[in-house]
Amino acid sequence: MTAPKNLFLFLAGFFLLFIQIHPLLPFGKDGGRPDLLLLFTIILGIHFTWLPGAVVCFLVGYLVEIFSGANSGFFSIVYFNIFIVIKMLQRYLIFDTLAKVFLLLILCICIKYFLLLFSFCFIYEYCTEMMKRIFFKETLYTVILSPVVFSLLIKTMSYRSKRPFY
């Protein structure tokens, strides 16, 4: 990928984080917020190579932690692991259609949930019943917003590119 495309993608990532922390985001008043940066991580996983992608995912997690009540390193681990899983899957699968990307999203949401479940069992005293409810809401909002966010990111990446992204 070329430098301007990278720059536009990073700006899109910043924009998604800005929306995610903005108090006027219509979702989230009932305790669940869409994870727009998970969608960003998926796009990074599909289109970035191992090393730059891993560094960017680490930084995405770091940025989230600055604004979140989570402890440092928590989201870096989550996004980093999701990126690694996507890269490993890419050895056997090609995510060349939106349907496949959507299936990948569902898988990534499940991975994130299991990582959270693991850490919440050992570190935070989270009630499993509440985790399920929050997970359901977060998944719902993330899936609802995914077509818009994926389109935005794909458009950003295929900017000045002669061929369409998919």
Partner 1 sequence: MLQFLLKNKKVIFLLGLFIVSLTLFATDVERRKPYTLIDKIILAVFVPPLKATTSLVNSATAVWEEYFYLVNLRKENTALKASLEKLYLEHQMLKEQAIENSRLRELLSFKKKLSYTFIPAETIGRDPSSWFKSMLINKGAGDGIVRGSGVITPLGIVGKIIQVSHNASKILLIIDVNSSVDAIVERTRARGIVEGVGSDKNLCKLSYVLKSEDIVAGDVILCSGTHGINPKGIIIGTVSRVEKDLKGFFQLVEVRPSVDFSQLNEVLVVLKKKAGDAR
Task: Catalog residues that contact partner 1 under the rule CB under 8 A.
Answer: 17-18, 20-25, 28-33, 35, 37, 50-51, 54-55, 58, 61, 63-64, 66-77, 80, 84, 116, 120, 123-127, 130, 133-134, 137-138
CB of 86 to partner 1, least distance (A): 13
- Nearer to partner 1 among residue 125 and residue 164 (C-beta): 125
CB of 122 to partner 1, least distance (A): 10
Question: Which residues lie closer than 8 Å to 12 by C-beta, 6 or more apart?
Answer: 40, 152, 153, 156
- Nearer to partner 1 among residue 68 and residue 90 (C-beta): 68
- State the Cα–Cα distance between residues 80 and 61, nearest whole angstrom: 8
The phi and psi torsions of 144 (rounded to 5 degrees) equal -60, -45
CB of 29 to partner 1, least distance (A): 4
- Nearer to partner 1 among residue 124 and residue 166 (C-beta): 124
Long-range Cβ contact pairs of 132-138 (< 8 A, separation 24 or more):
133/31, 133/32, 134/31, 134/32, 136/32, 137/30, 137/31, 137/32, 138/32, 138/33, 138/34, 138/35, 138/109
- Nearer to partner 1 among residue 111 and residue 134 (C-beta): 134
Q: Residue with structure tokens 């061929």? A: 163
DSSP structural state of residue 95 = -
CB of 77 to partner 1, least distance (A): 5
- Nearer to partner 1 among residue 53 and residue 157 (C-beta): 53
CB of 22 to partner 1, least distance (A): 7
